[in-house]
Amino acid sequence: MKYIFILIPFFILSQKKNPPPYITTLSPLTLFSTQDGETEGIWSFSKVSPYDFKLLAEDSFTVIHLGENHPPIVKTIYGTIATSIVGTPSMAVSSDGHYGLVTNHTWRGFDFFDSLEYPLNEKLSLMKKKMDTETVYQLSNMIFVVDLEDPEHPVVDKIHVDDVPVHILSHPDGDRFFVLGHESFITYTLKNGKLVELANSEIPFGQGCFWIHPNGKNILASRSKNWKTKETIAEWFEIKGDKVIYKHPLEIDPSVDSEYKIMGGILRITPDGKKGFISQRTYDNGIDFADVLVADLTLEKPKITGVVKQVGDGVESFAFHPNGKLAVATCLEKTKNSLAVIDISSEKPNILYYLDAAGGSQGIEFSPEGDKLFLGSPAHGRIEVYDVKGDFELVKNQKFIKIGYGHNSLSIGPRYFSNKN
């Protein structure tokens, strides 16, 4: 009996399979990454070294199917959509994972964009561009719908918008999509892959980023009269039917040692809907460390009640783990990024540690089960992967997923399988 007791563990160990030599997920998922060709122009620009300002790269998107029993299925498509890195690092995937939706806009905000020499005649009026149903202009106010199931990933719908659509998100009801512009919120639904407008709601100021509350009844958004000269502040909206109604700005409680700043406004709501995280500053890197403002959304009149001090040299994006304890924020630096890992389980969120991240990191998402974190880098043309160990431990995976250059947004959803497949 002694020998049997000893041999059983060895037998069990011999039956364990080696982990597969590729990135896997616990359930079938689709990642939808968009890439801005203008990024090459932004980072190549120099007032000192010679530069001809010719923009060669086309905008693109990458569809990545992940699962438990196969290597990543990856395809990048160039020239069929337009998108901009000037704006928010997330777009929309339909609740069933069938479609990816991405906005593009004409708002740039930096003077050096005026020097870029685009492949197409971007000086045409928006009206003439609107009449041209075939050409994809990089300076246009449009929404594109991409079929994420079809292996060729065709653009099944594209529409021009009479606003500057900087951000699009899906509503928790799974049926509607909300688009944020400089003058309005626009509500859409999809009918057989085609966008149908449901409502247009005017808003007081131009907006930069928003997030829909998990209750489906409210929106937290950032706005600025002029984000280059005026501080960007957070505001509270109510969803009534298909309309969006402005309620009030989020005041900063006097007990909070922080303030709104210029060029901030990237934000996200925790999955339980209790808190909102707001970046104090995103751009102008190399100046100082930016804070993250924390809003209490359980109050009758939500306001800023907390702060995570000196998170990074510009905070670009947030993601929250399904366990409700762990948050991450991408921190922009001049040449390389870092990832701030934050404990949000306590009353006052605390930074636990930092990890390396590829340059210019933008979109960031946890898998639904919370075993993986995905982070997109425009400078390195990749989706980096972090494995989650326990409640607070992230381990950077040496494997990554190649995407097009100039990543500017990342969205995640279930992988869609139609009856025909």
pLDDT single digits (tens) 39-75: 876 665 544 455 566 677 789 999 999 999 999 999 9
Confidence of residue 227 (pLDDT cuts 50, 70, 90): low
Assess if residue 161 is contained within a domain. yes
DSSP H or E segment with residue 3 = helix 2-15
Whole-prediction pTM: 0.91
**Quick count: other Cβ atoms within 10 Å of Cβ 419?**
4
Assess if residue 9 is contained within a domain. no
Confidence of residue 38 (pLDDT cuts 50, 70, 90): confident
| Whole-angstrom distance, CA of residue 112 vs CA of residue 45 | 8
Q: What is the largest CA-CA distance in the chain?
A: 87
Beta strands in 36-183 (DSSP E): 60-66, 73-78, 92-93, 99-104, 142-147, 155-160, 167-170, 176-180
Q: Six-digit token pair at 79?
A: 């020239």
Assess if residue 219 is contained within a domain. yes
Pure H helices in 227-327: none
Assess if residue 10 is contained within a domain. no
Burial 384-401 (b: 16+ CB within 10 A, else e): bbbebeeebebebeeebb
Confidence of residue 333 (pLDDT cuts 50, 70, 90): confident
Confidence of residue 14 (pLDDT cuts 50, 70, 90): very low
What percent of the chain is modeled with pLDDT above 90?
Answer: 60
> 96 pLDDT exceeds 70?
yes
| Whole-angstrom distance, CA of residue 411 vs CA of residue 397 | 20
Q: What is the pLDDT of residue 6?
A: 46
Which residues are CB-neighbours of 362 under 8 A, at least 6 positions away?
85, 89, 316, 317, 330, 376, 377, 378, 407, 408, 409, 410
DSSP H or E segment with residue 389 = strand 382-389
Name the one residue in this structure whose structure tokens are 């290597």. Answer: 71
Question: Rg (Cα) of the chain, in Å, rounded?
Answer: 22
Assess if residue 19 is contained within a domain. no
Helix (H, G, I), strand (E, B) or coil at 261: coil
Assess if residue 169 is contained within a domain. yes
Q: What is the pLDDT of residue 4?
A: 46
Q: What is the pLDDT of residue 288?
A: 77
Helix (H, G, I), strand (E, B) or coil at 131: helix
φ, ψ dihedrals at 68, nearest 5°: -80, -30
DSSP one-letter code for 77: E
pLDDT, mean of residues 252-269: 90
Q: How many domains, in total, are found in the chain?
A: 1
The rounded mean pLDDT for the chain is 87
Distances in Å between the alpha carbon of 337 and those of 334, 377, 380? 8, 9, 11
Q: Six-digit token pair at 264?
A: 């901030």
- List for the chain the helix, strand, coil content (%; round to 5): 10, 45, 50
Q: Which domain holds residue 71?
A: 26-414
Q: Six-digit token pair at 189?
A: 């639904």
Assess if residue 371 is contained within a domain. yes
Confidence of residue 29 (pLDDT cuts 50, 70, 90): very high
| Whole-angstrom distance, CA of residue 81 vs CA of residue 346 | 43
> 272 pLDDT exceeds 80?
yes
Higher confidence at residue 14 or residue 288?
Answer: 288
In degrees, to the nearest 5, what angle opens at C-alpha 49 toward C-alphas 48 and 50?
A: 120
pLDDT digits (tens, 9 = 90+) for 169-187: 999 999 999 999 989 999 9
- Indicate which CATH number applies to the domain containing 35: 2.130.10.10
Is-contact 209 265, C-beta < 8 A? yes
pLDDT, mean of residues 281-286: 67
> 204 pLDDT exceeds 90?
no
Q: What is the pLDDT of residue 3?
A: 46
Assess if residue 421 is contained within a domain. no
pLDDT digits (tens, 9 = 90+) for 290-311: 899 999 999 999 999 999 999 9
| Whole-angstrom distance, CA of residue 222 vs CA of residue 232 | 6
pLDDT, mean of residues 227-236: 77
> 83 pLDDT exceeds 60?
yes
Is-contact 354 374, C-beta < 8 A? no
Cα separation of the two ends of the chain: 53
Higher confidence at residue 174 or residue 262?
Answer: 174
